[in-house]
Structure 1
Amino acid sequence: MFKKNKYTVIKKAISRDLALFVYNYFLMKRQVAKTLFDSRFISPFETLMGRFGDNQVPGTYCQYADVVMETLMLKCQPKMEKVTGLKLSPTYTYARIYKAGDVLKRHKDRFSCEISTTLNLGGDPWPIYLEPKKNVGIPDDEKGITTSSNNKGVRINLKPGDMLVYRGMELEHWRETFQGGDCCQVFLHYNNVKSKEADTNIFDRRPHLGLPGDFKR
């Protein structure tokens, strides 16, 4: 299905127990990060404990390259290679705990997200949408991100442990306004090893996995 449609869903990619364990871990990490930031124990510019908000979803707890999430990326890589039929190299992970009212705007991704998955870890249900036509949504900036389509798309529902695998650079994807309390998802990103520049883009140009983005070459 992935080869034809450029996306597929893997049910129970990880066990529900493991998904909920990681979900509760990340909830606790968010609580710890908030206490550390609020008490000024660490600088508000410190990113090793995550941050509250980015350009896509303001005010929502998120983290680039959490060590547990990066370990999950390696765990899931064999399944990713099986369903895609591709030899993959890991690039990076990005996790969020979405809150009520959040929206993930329509976009396409950069090269490091060439072959991607969003893995549901826990919380309230929140569908993700894909536009299966790769010519919809033309990248409009240097990062290759766009919000230019109004197509209805395909609605995909995931339970804890399920993951959607998709071509992040080709298929526009988004989430509509979240009506629940919280929803924890992690994006696991890979490159096709045969893609141009994949060899120099391994680990998103960091020396190894687990390091923050400041280590990019």
Structure 2
Amino acid sequence: MNSSEHFREYGYVKISDFLSQEIISLTRKYMDLSLFSGHMVISDNSVIAGQPEQYAAMLSESLLLFFQPNIESVVGYALLPTYSFWRIYEHGAVLREHVDRDSCEISVSVTIAAEPRNTDWRLWVRGIDRKNKSLSLRPGDCVIYLGNKVPHWRNKFKGGVQYQMFLHYIRQDNNQNPLAYDGRNTCALALFKRSIEK
């Protein structure tokens, strides 16, 4: 079963080595700079509170557009970008079971870094077959999933830190879809903070 077939059957698919080592290194450095320069905020939503995150950073928005064709080739239909964000999870974090809002019809969760290096903080998903599955994502791996339909969660984080990036899209039904760019005029406009909750 190839990636597209797995996505259609289960509503999610893991892609190994989605990012090159160069992009992993660049993204990690950019996230560190965002954190140290005060561009990240502490999440306050009920799904995952108390973790540093940033909505629509210039680099993550660029990657949102850059990887759009790759994601389209997996899901099998044209997409419109909505938004990107990234988060640094710290020891003890718990990602509660949830589905995302409708701007996250197609979601991509990409592991950027984890410390210690052997950390394996599994992402749990409940596919459209209603079966729970745990996914091990090394730095550079990603999972593409139906964000507003497939419940997903992580148990308590026992590692030190984990850097995660999220890219979100919707089906390209028409260019007037109000969810396109997450209600912004275009990408890279971080004029407001959105919740990942539905």
Distance in 2, Cα, partners of 1:198 & 1:91 = 13
Gaps of 5+ in 1: 34-48, 137-150
Pair member with larger Rg: 1
Q: In the TM superposition, what is the alpha-carbon distance from 1:58 to its structure 2 partner?
A: 2.2
User: 1:114 corresponds to which residue?
Assistant: 105
The answer (yes or no) to whether the contact 1:91–1:189 under 8 Å persists in 2 is: yes
Query: In structure 2, what is the Cα distance between the partners aligned to 1:133 and 1:5?
Result: 5
Superposition misfits of 4+ residues, deviation over 4 angstroms: none
Deviation at 1:215, TM superposition (A): 9.1
Q: Which residue of 1 aligns with 2:49?
A: 58
If the length of structure 1 is used for normalisation, what is the TM-score? Answer: 0.79
- Say whether residues 1:156 and 2:135 are aligned partners: yes
Q: Deviations over 1:74-110 (max 9, x none)?
A: 1111110001101000000121000000010000111
Residue 74 of structure 2 aligns to a residue in which SS? helix
What residue is the counterpart of 1:7 in the other structure?
12
Give the TM-score taking structure 2 as reference length: 0.86
| Distance of 1:133 and 1:93 partners within structure 2 | 24
Please say if 1:101 is aligned against 2:80. no
Tell me the C-alpha RMSD between the 2 structures. 2.0
**One-letter amino acid matched to 1:163:** C
> 1:209 corresponds to which residue?
187
Query: Is residue 167 of structure 2 the alignment partner of residue 177 of structure 1?
Result: no
Distance 1:214 1:29 in 2: 17
- Code of the residue aligned with 2:164 in structure 1: it is Q
Aligned counterpart, 1:132: 127
Q: Give aligned-pair identity as a percent.
A: 32
Are residues 1:21 and 2:30 paired? no
The aligned counterpart of 2:60 is 69
Assess if the C-alpha contact under 8 Å between 1:192 and 1:198 holds in 2: no
Whole-angstrom CA distance in 1 between matches of 2:176 and 2:166: 18
* Counterpart secondary structure, 2:71: helix
Between the aligned partners of 1:2 and 1:215, the Cα distance in structure 2 is 30
**Where does structure 2 lack aligned partners over 5 or more consecutive residues?**
1-5
Distance in 2 between the 1:198 and 1:160 partners?
36
The answer as to 2:165 corresponding to 1:165 is: no
Do residues 188 (structure 1) and 167 (structure 2) align?
A: yes
Question: What CA deviation, in whole Å up to 9, does each residue of 1:170-213 have, x standing for no partner?
Answer: 11000110011100001100001128x97222100101111125
Q: Distance in 2 between matches of 1:160 and 1:57?
A: 21
The alignment partner of 1:190 has SS state of strand
Mapped partners of 1:213, 1:200: distance in 2:
17
